[in-house]
Amino acid sequence: GQQLNQSPQSMFIQEGEDVSMNCTSSSIFNTWLWYKQDPGEGPVLLIALYKAGELTSNGRLTAQFGITRKDSFLNISASIPSDVGIYFCAGRRPGGSEKLVFGKGTKLTVNP
């Protein structure tokens, strides 16, 4: 099935640095979600976006729903070691279905 184009695939950063990752699609979505998955656990919802142009923050995390409805980004400011994990974007297409399409994930490593 269709997957979202998520980049970068992996990132290695120093503690304190800011991080940015994004997802793009050739088709429009009416919901964008960002999840984080730690080893041995299921994905945990970080931010949900429901309107084009919406900019939402959750602590040090900020995400935006692209104005074209075909993309979204997630920023993490002042990274800390516990930010390590895999970040997934997910989108829900218009049409009433609740099904989600997932990106391939961004693996984040934070060096203390």
Partner 1 sequence: SAVISQKPSRDICQRGTSLTIQCQVDSQVTMMFWYRQQPGQSLTLIATANQGSEATYESGFVIDKFPISRPNLTFSTLTVSNMSPEDSSIYLCSVGDQPQHFGDGTRLSIL
Q: How far is the CB of 50 from partner 1 (least distance, A)?
A: 8
Rounded to 5 degrees, φ, ψ at 50 are -125, -10
Measured from the CB atom, the residue of 34 and 73 that comes closer to partner 1 is: 34
For partner 1, the closer CB: 78 or 109: 109
Q: Are 6 and 21 in contact (CB under 8 A)?
A: yes
Q: Contact at 8 Å (CB) between 74 and 21?
A: yes
Q: Which amino acid is at 100?
A: L
Smallest distance, partner 1 to C-beta of residue 92, A: 8
Number of shown-chain residues binding partner 1 (CB under 8 A): 23
Distance separating alpha carbons of residues 22 and 26, to the nearest angstrom: 14
**Residues 44/37, Cβ–Cβ less than 8 Å:** yes
Interaction residues for partner 1, span 62-81 (CB under 8 A) = none
Positions 24 through 63 that interact with partner 1 (CB under 8 A): 31, 33, 35, 40-45, 48, 50
Q: At its nearest, how many Å lie between partner 1 and the CB of residue 16?
A: 28
- Answer for the pair 21, 87: CB distance below 8 angstroms, yes or no: yes
Interface residues toward partner 1, by CB under 8 A: 1, 3, 31, 33, 35, 40-45, 48, 50, 88, 90, 92, 98-100, 102-105
